[in-house]
Structure 1
Amino acid sequence: MHRRRFLAVISATTLTVLAGCSSEETPPPRKSSVVEQLETKNGMIRIDLANQAWVLSRYTPPRSSIAVGVAAAKGGGAGSARGATGRAGGGHASAPRTNHGWAWWHGGAYADDWYEDHDDETSRYPVQIEEIGVRHFGSDDVFKKDRPGAGPVDWDWTYRFPDHRIDHPIRKPGWYRVGAHIVGKRVDHDFQWECIDFEIRSVGQSYTVGKEWKVSPRI
């Protein structure tokens, strides 16, 4: 009886893995280049946007649309299949990094393997930024209680059809999110939001920005 039960469990596990349902098959966050840099200047958060913004996606356009390129550069870092998640709770120093040097939310070594295994399913699309949102969450303790996932939040302020740079006034130190709503430049598709979470600290009479996390939806 016990042997039959054991074999049944093994068979079910094998079928699950063969069906691609193991945790290693969890898609990683998508790659993109939308926000180029964040810094503080004269009491403002300076948001520099990419001159040629793009996103990697598994979106398949109609035959009449044009997709640009395939795949993207590999990111570095290490992590488990679940990826790094430690915003406002430690983990930033050891988190995997994006090409911009930001901590990569849910990123990890598994991401490179996934992209290599699925490079024929992904394409790189040029995008335009329709809107920038800014939200102040508060202190570490406040942010820990309600850390949002990928996507838009209830923005404190929005900027429609922004230029390449936005200066947003700093009202308080603490955790912030900057989000960019992106749409296809050559395909008629809404790619939703790319976000950066970060901490603003006061240093004397000025401010510094740090602990940046790139927060993207899974591809």
Structure 2
Amino acid sequence: MYRRSFITATGLTALTALAGCLSDNSPPPRRSNVIERIEATTNTIRIDLADQGWVKSRYDSTGKLRDPPDLDALAPVGVAEAKGGIFGSGGGRGATGRAAGGHASAPKTSHGWAWWHGGVYANDWYDDHDDEIEQYDVHLREVGVRYFGSNDEYEDDRPGAGPVAWDRVYDSPDDVVKHPFELTGWYRVGVHIAGTTVNQDFGWECFDFEVVPDHPGYEIANKWKISPRI
């Protein structure tokens, strides 16, 4: 069901060149439905995938973006860079704190995940650009899992949107992925999605969370949805 893999996020050089371009006019994170829930048992992280995955995008069937955005709109919320970089924990609107806090007051998705860089401005942006956006059905190509470590370790290396060097990748996943784990701390689950009726790779939707002891077992805490900008 899975293969051992270390996948490095692509396009870092190009994205870094755009680092200074993010502004308050940048689009918000895209909306999607790819994971229903994540739970932790005694030795397994259980990932329940969405029965009907979808993503909202400005892509159209001709392969172009409607109303092509400027450079700062093309840049995602972030890539896997260390704390302090513009693509790391900072920049953009909405709640950004993860290991450092902010989960309780962050805007939430319909599944109860804290919405990184989301908020009221995002809802307004979607309302204003409704005619530019389509919702596409997607299939789930891969699921990646990465362990980051303790709060302090994660605080020093909080990734932004996009793939990271996964510890393990599950190809053509079933409805449920069961990932064995031994250590508590921060994890990322990423889902690689592609269009069902359009020939488009939509990249990765990512979810960061902390596995904490909950005797006699474990629980998932501080759940964040980390999405690229639409």
Give the TM-score band, short-chain normalised.
0.7 to 0.9
Deviations 1:138-194 (Å, cap 9, x if unpaired)?
Answer: 001000111001000000011000011011112200000000000000000000000
2:224 maps to which of 177, 196, 213: 213
Please tell me the residue identity of whatever aligns with 2:158: R
Shift of 1:42: 3.6
Q: Does 1:30 align with 2:41?
A: no
Shift of 1:96: 0.4
- Is the contact made by 2:22 and 2:92 (CA closer than 8 Å) also made in structure 1? no
Deviations 1:39-62 (Å, cap 9, x if unpaired)?
Answer: 112421110000000000011222
Q: Does 1:58 align with 2:69?
A: no
Q: Which has the higher contact order (CA 8 A, sep 6+)?
A: 2
2:98 maps to which of 57, 63, 87: 87
Please tell me the residue identity of whatever aligns with 1:53: G
Q: Does 1:153 align with 2:164?
A: yes
Once residues 123 and 203 of structure 1 are traced to their aligned partners in structure 2, the CA distance between those partners, rounded to angstroms, is 41
* 2:83 corresponding residue in structure 1: none
Could you tell me which runs of 5 or more consecutive residues in structure 1 were left unpaired when the two chains were aligned. 1-20, 64-79
Deviations 1:72-129 (Å, cap 9, x if unpaired)?
Answer: xxxxxxxx96111001001000000001011000101100110011001100000000
Q: Does 1:126 align with 2:157?
A: no
What is the root-mean-square deviation in Å for CA atoms of aligned residues? 1.7
State the aligned residue count. 183
Please tell me the residue identity of whatever aligns with 2:152: D
Once residues 163 and 22 of structure 2 are traced to their aligned partners in structure 1, the CA distance between those partners, rounded to angstroms, is 29
Please tell me the residue identity of whatever aligns with 2:207: I
Structure 1 residue ranges, 4+ long, deviating more than 4 angstroms after superposition: 21-24
Shift of 1:205: 3.8
Q: Does 1:201 align with 2:212?
A: yes
- Is the contact made by 1:81 and 1:108 (CA closer than 8 Å) also made in structure 2? no
Q: TM-score with structure 2 length normalisation? A: 0.76
Please tell me the residue identity of whatever aligns with 1:27: P
SS at match of 2:131: coil
Deviations 1:195-217 (Å, cap 9, x if unpaired)?
Answer: 10000012334111111000000
* 1:180 corresponding residue in structure 2: 191
Could you tell me which runs of 5 or more consecutive residues in structure 2 were left unpaired when the two chains were aligned. 1-20, 64-90
1:140 maps to which of 148, 151, 154: 151
SS at match of 2:122: helix
SS at match of 2:223: strand
